[in-house]
Structure 1
Amino acid sequence: MRTTRAAAAGAVTVSLLTALTACGGGSPMGGGGSNASPKTLTYWASNQGASIEVDKKVLQPELAKFAKQTGIKVNLEVIPWSDLLNRILTATTSGQGPDVLNIGNTWSASLQATGALLPWDAKNFDKIGGKDRFVDSALGSTGAQGQDPTAVPLYSMSYALYYNKKMFADAGISKPPATWDELIADGKKLTKDGKWGLGIEGSNPSENVHHAFVFAKQHGTDFFTADGKPDFTNDGAVAGVKQFVDLMAKDKIAAPGNAEYAQNQSVSDFATGKTAMLLWQSATANLKSQGMSEDTYGVAPVPVQSGTPGTGTQTNSMVAGINLAVFKNTDNLDGALKFVKFMTSDGEQKILNEAYSSIPPVKTAQADPAFNTPADKVLKDTLAKSAAPMPQVADESQFETAVGTAVKDLLADAAAGRPVTTDSVKAALEKAQQQMPAK
């Protein structure tokens, strides 16, 4: 999920989420739903572009095209990431929501547990062309294993390392770093004259938890046990979080002020030459909107410990993206399914993913030459070979908030010059685990 997307998934109150899960996973939305006319649909879209107005310019022509084809008018609301999850959760409990909506794919299992979303069984998948149209990595972030998904992939993204070509050349660096040791060494060469080696969005819990997840994977572990129980203080998780925070605390290649960044400031710093490297999801459209030409920066895989990305301990991204879901209580199920089929059609997948510099999760659309730029190749290769889905457990959203906030607090310590030790990292993660719902 993300970019202006970035203010994202973590920005939700734990109390609301806990209340939701405490209801036994919730019950299906009852009553008449939000829409009494078979000729209209209400669609909540996530803010994917540089602004809500940009999203409207992208989406309105496509919604008009759908209306012309089907006679069904789509009422669009683009919702900021800071509000989206709370809006969805309120809708699941009140029964007053849209017919179709975007969700961050990391929320899939949590929202599935509410019982409010339409399950995508074989019958429903057949109505949009079949489940096998979608790439496996995207399907892996659509709900809990062993259950019918309650969302369909719409946009796929992954993290990559963006680097400023001129700043690298001026520092005598000939290629992007492949290992973290190389990144730190390069970052130290680039941190000078008021400029910094790496940008971090330290006050954004969503960004933080994504990095924490990836670093833990690279240390051979996860934040949950095989049976879905929180395990935030295992040695690998602690080591992974400390390694990430140390980019500011010990290695000092990220500016202390980055600990306060939460709204794309690290992207702006990279676009304006204040930092030389950026770890970000599918950043091309965001950088372009800020006036950065594609020929001024390179895109490489996120470093791993060994230098060769792959599965397991060489994971270098979470499977990022946006899914499309339907509220089970819609009064226009037929229209909603037609809309999902339209949005995931090859033609629309090309238009929408080009607009957002994301990758189509539909196999045939992903193969289109339009998605063969150097940046796209890195993202596609990462998604195919070295990205892992965030934990598909019912408490995933609480995990994002709790761990993302713990990392935010640790980065604040680093920025203030307070020591960040293995013990302090473990204590922060233990506090985060205590915030998880009791079972």
Structure 2
Amino acid sequence: MRRNRAAAVGSVTLSLVLAASACGGGTSSGGGGSNESPKTLTYWASNQGPNVEADKKVLRPELDKFEKQTGIKVKLEVIPWSDLLKRIMTATTSGQGPDVLNIGNTWSASLQATGALLPWDDKQFDKIGGRDRFVESALGSTGEKGKDPAAVPLYSMAYALYYNKKMFDDAGIAKPPATWDELVAAGKKISKGGKWALGAEGSNLSNNIHQVFALAKQHGADWFSADGKPDFTSDGAVAAVKQYVDFMGKDKIIAPGNAEYAQNQSLSDFAKDKTAMVLWQAAATTFQSQGMKDDEWGVAPVPVPSGAPGQGSSVNSMVAGINMAVFKDTRNIDGATKFVKFMTSDAEQKILCGKYGSVPPVKTAQDAPAFSKPELKVLRDTLAKSAAPLPQVANESQFETVVGTAVKNLFAKAAEGDAISTADVKAELGKAEQQMTN
């Protein structure tokens, strides 16, 4: 699914980029420097829809509208998530890149560390209407804390609990679980006769990270210390990973085969009535594409220990989403800034987020009826009240790789029937921490 693809590429380490001398650079031929309005911009858009062609159909009319308003033509390339980070890495070192590009918001600090992206200080933000137009949680995923953001929020998403109404009815479950204890209890009623309660994607490293990040918050843990050093073996982090893997190994509410699942496979099982629940980001359009009707599924906040999502220990989602960045060395900085302003305008936010099923990170764009649907209301409330950004550290992408792999390894052992002890989890996370410090 597109939202997880947005972070899935984060499993590609940025160490080569961070070690290189980044020069950035736009390649558009129409620019003449920041004091001259460019006539052409190159834009790398991330693949948000079912496929690249679908994105072109969504974006092209809006880009034509921008050209009509400004006289600036936008050369569009929609890049699959499997290629996007590698393309950006190459662009930061070669100087052959776009003027404007989309990035997964979890990459913000890592790409910021290359020095290739334009910093968004207050003066730059004022050119697009000001920093205070944006939801605070979305701004929290735009770069390292204490530094000017490296990007601007474009599309916001969060995790929710999606449940299959028929499977709940068949099991005699009246409402979605609000706590993890309730989820396990409901899951044991459902998990029989070839049916399973909860979907997981054990081979999807970034999805693993997203789940254990929120669980660690609920256990009072962060993955990095205040000085940015990895802290993967704290009691809270270990408890979070064990809780997640135990859904398969101990509680037996996740099918063992899910240990090998990759991108979107859990959603397919959900749509086919094989799995009753999935923890996912804005999934409506994916269910529809697989033939599932809107009235066949429901949505609720991701469970928490107390049952009441809120700030602090009741964090139940990472702040997911897409940011828009500008290469610092583009010759078209004025045109690029105008384009970011256009894409983050109230009107365009309502159009684009409405078509993609995401939540506008622009506050005043959220009042459109489209964003009051049950699914998006849950996501909006989560972003406003109980979501937290993944660690905004320069080696965040390596974190996704090594900890995501640790969870994958533990799922593989659980699938084989091995009991997973606290010591097993701590040892696996210890290996991951060692990889970060080597």
TM bucket, shorter chain: over 0.9
Q: Which residue of 2 aligns with 1:121?
A: 121
Q: Which residue of 2 aligns with 1:29?
A: 24
Tell me the amino acid that sits aligned with residue 9 of structure 1: A
Q: Could you tell me which of 13, 16, 20 is aligned with 1:19?
A: 16
Please state whether the residue corresponding to 2:436 is helix, strand or coil: coil
Q: CA deviation at 1:13?
A: 6.5
For residues 104-183 of structure 1, the aligned pairs below 5 Å read 104-183=104-183
TM-score normalized with structure 2 length: 0.95
Please state whether the residue corresponding to 1:155 is helix, strand or coil: strand
Please state whether the residue corresponding to 2:276 is helix, strand or coil: strand
**Matches of 1:365 and 1:359, distance apart in 2:** 9
Q: CA deviation at 1:86?
A: 1.8
Q: Which residue of 2 aligns with 1:227?
A: 227
Q: CA deviation at 1:8?
A: 4.6
**Matches of 1:8 and 1:319, distance apart in 2:** 12
Q: CA deviation at 1:29?
A: 2.7
Q: Which residue of 2 aligns with 1:299?
A: 299
Q: Is the 8 A contact 2:105 2:322 kept in 1?
A: yes
**Matches of 2:5 and 2:249, distance apart in 1:** 23
Q: CA deviation at 1:18?
A: 2.0
Q: Is the 8 A contact 2:27 2:99 kept in 1?
A: yes
Q: Which residue of 2 aligns with 1:46?
A: 46
**Matches of 2:126 and 2:424, distance apart in 1:** 51
Q: Is the 8 A contact 2:199 2:266 kept in 1?
A: yes
Q: CA deviation at 1:12?
A: 5.5
Q: CA deviation at 1:10?
A: 4.5
Moved more, 189-198 or 171-180: 189-198
Gaps of 5+ in 2: 31-37
**Matches of 1:301 and 1:108, distance apart in 2:** 26
TM-score normalized with structure 1 length: 0.95
Deviation readout 1:1-40 (Å, 9 max, x if unpaired) = xx334245354676x52233334xx44436xx31121322
Tell me the amino acid that sits aligned with residue 6 of structure 1: N
Q: CA deviation at 1:342?
A: 0.8
Tell me the amino acid that sits aligned with residue 4 of structure 1: R
Runs of 4+ in 1 over 6 A off after TM superposition: none
**Matches of 2:137 and 2:432, distance apart in 1:** 28
Please state whether the residue corresponding to 2:14 is helix, strand or coil: helix
**Matches of 1:420 and 1:50, distance apart in 2:** 37
Tell me the amino acid that sits aligned with residue 77 of structure 2: E
Please state whether the residue corresponding to 1:9 is helix, strand or coil: helix
Q: CA deviation at 1:417?
A: 2.1
Q: Which residue of 2 aligns with 1:324?
A: 324
Tell me the amino acid that sits aligned with residue 238 of structure 1: V
Q: Which residue of 1 aligns with 2:425?
A: 425
Q: Which residue of 1 aligns with 2:35?
A: none
Q: Percent identity?
A: 72
Q: Which residue of 2 aligns with 1:6?
A: 4
Number of residue pairs matched? 431
**Matches of 2:210 and 2:246, distance apart in 1:** 16
Tell me the amino acid that sits aligned with residue 119 of structure 2: P
Q: Is the 8 A contact 2:11 2:400 kept in 1?
A: no
RMSD: 1.5
Deviation readout 1:276-315 (Å, 9 max, x if unpaired) = 1010001112212222111111100000011111111110
Q: Which residue of 1 aligns with 2:337?
A: 337
Q: Is the 8 A contact 1:6 1:81 kept in 2?
A: no
